[in-house]
Copies of this chain bind each other. A is one copy, B any other.
Amino acid sequence: MNTLYALIMAGGGGTRLWPESRVAFPKQFINLFKERSLIQIAYERIIPLIPPERVLIVTGQQYAEMAQEQLPELPAENIIAEPAGRNTAPAIGLGAIHLHRRDPAAVMAVLTADHMMRQEETFRAALAAAHQVAQDGRIVTLGITPAGPETGYGYIERGDRLDPLAGADGHVLFQVGRFREKPDRATAEQFVSSGRFYWNSGMFIWQVATVLAEIARQLPDLYAALMELQAVLDTPQEAEVTGRVWPAVRPVSIDYGVMENARNVVVLPVDPGWNDVGSWNAVYQESRRNSLSLPPDGNIVQGGELLTIDTQGCLIRSKKLVTTVGLRDLVIVDTDDALFICPLNRVQEAKTVVNRLKQSGQEAYL
């Protein structure tokens, strides 16, 4: 059977978790839960299924060292540094050529670095089933059973149900009807009530040969660039060729560039207790779920020490003593150079703060 590898996408970003998440220290490297960063949690989640030597990370050049520090057991050659961010299709293509060189028959699971899953066993079982399904050239996407009509995710509409597949271990699979971009609220509600839609998790399982064939067919320019790079991997020319080829690569997402028109795509529904930790409110909710002994006031403190008087439902991150009187449902994030205080139901506005800082040229805070 073709061997399963993981490619963890750790490209950067996360302005909605400002001021912790910064350009120089993005979301996936921050300790948000249990003194572990999201990338450490993502890594440890798959290790029971895929050993470290078969786990690859693709990340920005500026984060390669950080990734190695946080994942010391990961072989250094498994960290693939992008010279510049070009969105997901080029990043996956870059991972694919590295993997193809190592094992042309590899099955590659594209995974995300910045999600939490409460049912890790469920997730690994789905991944193992997808590994089986991908053996015959199918492209498997993991579709998350929606917990609500979220407007922040893309959705996958399912088509016909497949006949039970050998090795799928009881998992039900469907043809993919259509990929749908982030919907408005009303549309999202229709999606969820129909029972035929899943959140697009951004996780795909496919043979590396299949990915490269789809890129060759749909994104020939990217394919040409990847082939040029592949020819010089691990040679003295690699740096020079990369420096010349990569800047010219056109940014495009894997969803838009490949998946929407890919052949032979199936969706494997899974409900692993998924949380994309896309905002401070998501961090708060996830922390509450993780707390074995949640205090009755519902305050979550990360880092420092907390002394509260009549304070409820707050998420507080600081290295200091934080003392509060009469507060409700706020997030308080105190970093070395910035303090952010916001109601949990308005945390999306962290993005507005970041945009304003950008507009006024305060680069140091980005």
The interface of chain A, by Cβ under 8 A from chain B, is 19, 307, 309, 318, 320-327, 332, 334, 336-343, 346, 349-350, 352-353, 356-357, 362, 365
Contacts and interface: CB of A to CB of B under 8 A. Distances in A.
Given A326-B342, A326-B346, A342-B326, A321 B337 contact: yes
15 contacts: A19-B321, A307-B357, A309-B349, A320-B339, A321-B337, A322-B339, A323-B338, A323-B341, A324-B340, A325-B350, A326-B342, A326-B349, A327-B341, A334-B334, A334-B339
Contact of A321 (B322, B338, B350): B338
Nearest to A347: B325
Nearest to A332: B341
Given A334-B334, A342-B326, A353 B318 contact: no
Contacts of A343: 325-326
A303 to B, nearest CB: 11
A342 B356 contact: no
Contacts of A356: 307
Contact of A323 (B321, B322, B324, B339): B339
- Residue of A320, A327, A352 with highest tally of chain B CB at under 10 A: A320
Nearest to A18: B323
A121 B339 CA distance: 41
A323 B339 CA distance: 6
Given A326-B342, A341-B341, 20 more contacts: A19-B321, A307-B353, A318-B339, A320-B338, A320-B339, A321-B337, A321-B339, A321-B362, A322-B341, A323-B340, A323-B341, A323-B353, A324-B341, A325-B342, A325-B352, A325-B353, A326-B343, A332-B341, A334-B339, A339-B339
A334 B350 CA distance: 20
B320 A337 contact: yes
Q: 7 closest A-B pairs (Cβ-Cβ)? A: A325-B342, A321-B338, A322-B339, A325-B349, A323-B353, A324-B341, A326-B343
Contacts of A353: 307, 309, 323, 325
Given A334-B334, A339-B334, A341-B332, A346 B320 contact: no
A325 B341 contact: yes
A304 to B, nearest CB: 8
Contacts of A334: 334, 339
Contacts of A365: 321
Contacts of A307: 353, 356-357
Contacts of A340: 323-324
B338 A325 contact: no
A325 B340 CA distance: 8
B325 A346 contact: yes
Contacts of A323: 19, 338-341, 353
Contacts of A327: 341
A359 to B, nearest CB: 11
Contacts of A336: 320
Contacts of A19: 321, 323
A346 to B, nearest CB: 5
Contacts of A322: 338-339, 341
Nearest to A335: B320
A45 B323 CA distance: 35
Contacts of A324: 340-342
Nearest to A365: B321
A320 B357 CA distance: 14
